[in-house]
Every structure is written in C-alpha cells, then in structure tokens.
Amino acid sequence: MRVGIIGGGAAGMMCAATIVEEHPEVEVFLIEKNNSLGKKVIISGGGRCNVTTGIDDLKIVLSKYPRGNKFLQSAMHRFPPSKVFEWFENHGVELKCEDDLRVFPVSNDGHDIVAVFEKIFKNAKTNLLFKHNMKNIVKKKSKFVISFAEQEDLEVDKVVMALGGQAYRQTGSSGDGYDILEKLGHKITALSPSLNSFLTLEKWPKELSGVSFEKVVIKGKDQKKYQVTGPFLFTHTGVSGPAVFALSAMIAFEKYDRQSPLEILIDVLPDKNVEELFVELQRLREESLQKTFKNTLHQFFSMSLTEKVCENLQISFDKKNVEMSKKDLRAVVEYVKALPLKIIGRGAGDEFVTAGGVELTEVDPKTMESKICSGLYFAGEILDIDGFTGGFNLQASWATGRAAGLEIVD
C-alpha cells in the first residue's frame, strides 16, 4: 500500500510515524512544501514547543476547544495528553510539566520534538518529499493522483490531508488545500484567525507596552457570555497574552473594526471584589493622608499603569490622599475593576491557528476518513477544530494524526 500524507507538521508527522511503526511494509510519502519538517512545531511556545497539556481530566481538556470538542472525543480518548507525554518520553525526549500545566521538552528546544520523527523516518526509509508544492489531487477509481507545481505526479492508494490552516504563513501554512478539498466534494466552513492579539482604538496601551499581569479577567461589555481569566500583556499596538488569545478564540467570527469597535472590560485586580478593594484603598489613604494618592495606588500595580489610571481619570499626580473623597476612591476602584478598551482589529500575522476548516459532519471522528471520498483522511488544523493556548492545538494534531494513521493500517 502507498499512502500520501500532505503536510509535514505535527499531524502529518504523527500520522506517518504511526503508520511506519505499526506497519513498516506500507510505503509512506510525507509531502512538505518547505525544505524541512515541523517548522510550526519548532516555533510553537516561543521556540520551546508546548507539546501538550498536563491536564489529565479529558472533560476539562475537551472544554478548551471552542470548536471541534465533540468531534475530538474519540481520538482524544485513544491518544490523550498522558499518552502523548508517554509516547515522546519513550522516543527519547524527556518532558516536563510546568506550574501552569503546559508541557515542554526539558531542553526547552522544539527541535528535539521534530528530531524524534526525523529519526523514525530515517530508520524506516520513509519517502520525505521536500519542496513539493501540491497543485491538485484527483481520484481515479480506487487510486489518488497527486500533482505538483514542478515535480512528477504521484499515485497513491490513500491520502491524508494534514497541511494545516492559514496561520503562520511564513512556515508554509497558507491554506492551499481548501480549494482542492472543495473539488473533492468537501465543504469548508468560514475561516478566521484565532489566538491573536488585539489592536485597540485607544493609544495609551502603547505607553504601557511590556506591562503584564499574571491574572486578569476580561469580558465583553455588551456580551457578558464572553469572559476569560489568565495572563495579560499591554503591547505597542494594544493587548496580548493568554487571556487575550482565549477571548480571540471565543470571538473568532465576530466582526469589529474602527467604525464598529468591540468594547471589552479588563479587571486588573480580580482577586478582590469592588467592596474589598474600596475598603483597602480607603484604609491606605487614611494611614497616610499626606502621601500622594499616586504612590498609594502604586501599591496595587506598576507605576506606569498607576499614572495612566490617574491621567485617564484626571487625577493630578500631586494630589494627596487627604484631598481624595470617598466618591473619588470609588471611581478609581470601579475603573480598575473594569478598565474599558475598544478593540478595532486583530494583530496582523499574530494568529497562531485558523478557526474553521473542513466541515466536521463530513468526516468520521473515529477514523478521520472522509464520508464523501473513501480513502481520503484528515488530521490537524485543516479540520474545523481549534483550541486555546496551552498545548491544546498540538494535542489535537497528535491525536487526529494518530487516529488517521492507525485506521489506515488497521
């Protein structure tokens, strides 16, 4: 049997490795437009490669996917995070689970993850077809003919589409397969960036670029159903960080721009409610009446944010605690518990994944095989599946890639 796997990313590599380890007699062609494997895998997690999550409860793991969680149940039960962890360690890569439950190689080097697959493929004499830009796939009776921009056609018995979405275009994930899949009869859902930073209408976040919080709560002003908690960062164009990425996934298909901004509220002190914060601020004021209010407020967060809060509320930097009324204190508390920002766009090129993809009702979730075109399989981000940051997108790729590989050689 000859199997063509389109895409040398996480899903494609895991699918190919599964096939060659389970049935080495199968001839595998791993087709990649770049000159090496796993470019997106290597740069994930800031180059450290967030391999998977340390969360064991599959119900919680599946809740981290705004799209595709039900579809993933079967593949995830067969190859959950704990088994992914075990698989890589059994292949010689020592992993670690950090306090935030993200899993990385102990080396903090994504190259070590890709090297596992390179070793497997070298030993199995897998056909690695680099710099092969797929142009089309045609099914002829029980065979598939894959054509390329420059190389000769390739005939195979089965095809796995694992070529990713549109995110990180510099790594080759340009969404090439969507048109080809439509020709084969598949529907592609609406596509949108996900896990991206936000651009703000306000210019003042730029002055706080680099100021971060370990935990904030962000919610939509008019859409209370959108609420996320997590790390947060001000940038030179707006806001970023895991909490922002999670919110961007939840609102991936919302329309917002300069003319119709999306208003969000950020609670920068989520561990204290309004009354607790008000009482504490009032106590600090009364303890040092001659101290400037700015220096009192600075006890809660950075001076740069303190000054920006005072500036936005028109409180003089020289104003003393004795001059601050209860009404003034209440205004400050309510402001920092619901810091308003208008979102006007997504950070260009920052998206980590693509929301949307192959319509999931057209794919068998147990086998990853097309219900429309027999012998055609899917794995990874080409499907309408995406998760939050924290190793969930790679976990989905490993699980779906393995499911497809096991089915092909079953």
3-state helix, strand, coil in the chain (%, to 5): 35, 25, 40
pLDDT of residue 398: 98
Which residue, among 121, 119, 111, 91, has the nearest Cα to 31 in the 3D structure?
A: 121
pLDDT of residue 224: 65
pLDDT of residue 348: 58
CA 42, CA 401: separation in Å to the nearest integer? 17
pLDDT of residue 222: 72
Specify the length of the chain in residues: 410
pLDDT of residue 175: 56
pLDDT of residue 164: 78
Q: Are 330 and 315 in contact (CB under 8 A)?
A: no
Which residue, among 311, 350, 349, 295, has the nearest Cα to 205 in the 3D structure?
A: 311
CA 113, CA 47: separation in Å to the nearest integer? 11
Q: Where are the beta strands (DSSP E) in 131-243?
A: 134-140, 143-148, 154-156, 158-161, 192-194, 198-200, 212-220, 227-234, 238-240
Residue with tokens 């895998």: 41
Paired tokens of 183: 């020709």
Is the Cα torsion angle 147, 148, 153, 156 positive or negative in sign?
A: negative
Q: Return per-residue pLDDT of the chain as tens, 410 residues.
A: 999 999 999 999 999 999 999 999 999 999 999 999 999 899 888 889 999 999 999 999 999 999 999 999 999 999 999 999 999 999 999 999 999 999 999 999 999 999 999 999 998 889 999 999 999 999 999 999 999 999 999 999 999 999 876 654 444 445 568 889 999 999 999 998 889 999 999 999 999 999 999 999 999 877 667 899 999 999 999 999 999 999 999 999 999 999 999 999 999 999 999 999 999 999 999 999 999 999 999 999 999 999 999 999 999 999 999 999 999 999 999 999 999 999 999 885 555 788 999 999 999 999 999 999 999 999 999 999 999 999 999 999 999 999 999 999 87
pLDDT of residue 166: 62
Domains in the chain, start-ordered, CATH in brackets? Answer: 2-191+355-408 (3.50.50.60), 196-268+340-346 (2.40.30.10), 274-336 (1.10.8)
